[in-house]
Structures are given as structure tokens and as C-alpha cells.
């Protein structure tokens, strides 16, 4: 798949996220999806490695139970012809428990294999996340 095709696959997943359509996101994943936040912490409910669609569905459930998203805006995309897509996302949210707000840029690394998402790593400002959840 070309870099442009891989970007379109990721844009479609982000659009589904914006609609709250987790089923559409799961349909875009390979069965053995490798999904994780790049952090050494386990303090946020969405941190940790997930394998398979059921575990990714649990990731989205945990995010939804924990925070209310105020902004999720992909800012820029870059891709290569090997299926890797890199995205910077502007993200702001409020903790449902503490009411505290977090604002940051996310760095997302995706891999598209055979037209489906097979790999995801997301990096965020972990100290800001943990402070908002505490």
C-alpha cells in the first residue's frame, strides 16, 4: 500500500473515533493487532500493551469511562511506502473523577498491513496525564 493509502486508512480510523464508532475502528484492525501506549507507567487505565480486537475495544471503553475528550485534532501526517504512518494529534481532555484538564500533543505511530491496521504506538505527556488523573 502506498503512503497515501496508508494515511487514508488512518484518517478513516480517526473519523470513526470522532463519531464514537468503535466498531468501525475494530473493523479496520487486523485480528492480531499490537496496540500500546509508549510509557513505562501503568497508572492510566488505557496504558499497557493490548493484543487483538477485544483488548483494543477494552482500551476504548477505559478511555471513555475515565475522561471526557474536549479536543482530538490530527495536525499532521507523514507516511512511507512500507505502511508506517506518523501523526501528531492535539489532545485535550477532562478527568471524569477529578475534573482536572490535560492538554498535550500525542505522537502516533501506525502500521498498515494489507489495508488493515496491524500496529499502533501512542506517546503522550505522561506526567500531565498522571497529574490530571490524581
pLDDT tens figures, 45-78: 999 999 999 999 999 999 999 999 999 999 999 9
- What the block records as the C-alpha cell of 62 is 477505559
Burial tier of 37 (Cβ tally within 10 Å: 0-12, 13-18, 19+): buried
- Bridge partners, residue 1, by sequence: none
Alpha-carbon gap, residue 82 to 80, rounded angstroms: 5
Query: What mean pLDDT comes out for the span 88-95?
Result: 98
Count of structural domains within the chain? 1
Give the pTM.
Answer: 0.92
Q: How far is CA 59 from the centre of its chain?
A: 9
pLDDT tens figures, 9-38: 999 999 999 999 999 999 999 999 999 999
Alpha-carbon gap, residue 8 to 116, rounded angstroms: 11
How many H-runs (helices) and E-runs (strands) does the chain carry?
A: 4, 6
Domain containing 37 — which CATH number? 3.10.450.50
Q: In which domain, by residue range, is 9 found?
A: 3-133
pLDDT tens figures, 94-123: 999 999 999 999 999 999 999 999 999 999
Amino acid at each position: 500500500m502506498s503512503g497515501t493509502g496508508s494515511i487514508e486508512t488512518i484518517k478513516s480510523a480517526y473519523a470513526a473515533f470522532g463519531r464514537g464508532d468503535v466498531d468501525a475502528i475494530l473493523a479496520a484492525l487486523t485480528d492480531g493487532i499490537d496496540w500500546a501506549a509508549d510509557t513505562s507507567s501503568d497508572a492510566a487505565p488505557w496504558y499497557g500493551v493490548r493484543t487483538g480486537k477485544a483488548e483494543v475495544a477494552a482500551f476504548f471503553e477505559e478511555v471513555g469511562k475515565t475522561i471526557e475528550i474536549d479536543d482530538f485534532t490530527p495536525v499532521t501526517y507523514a507516511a512511507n511506502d512500507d505502511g508506517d504512518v506518523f501523526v501528531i494529534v492535539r489532545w485535550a481532555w477532562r478527568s471524569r473523577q477529578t475534573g482536572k484538564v490535560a492538554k498535550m500533543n500525542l505522537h502516533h505511530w501506525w502500521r498498515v498491513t494489507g489495508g488493515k491496521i496491524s500496529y499502533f504506538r501512542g506517546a503522550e505527556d505522561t506526567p500531565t496525564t498522571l497529574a490530571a488523573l490524581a
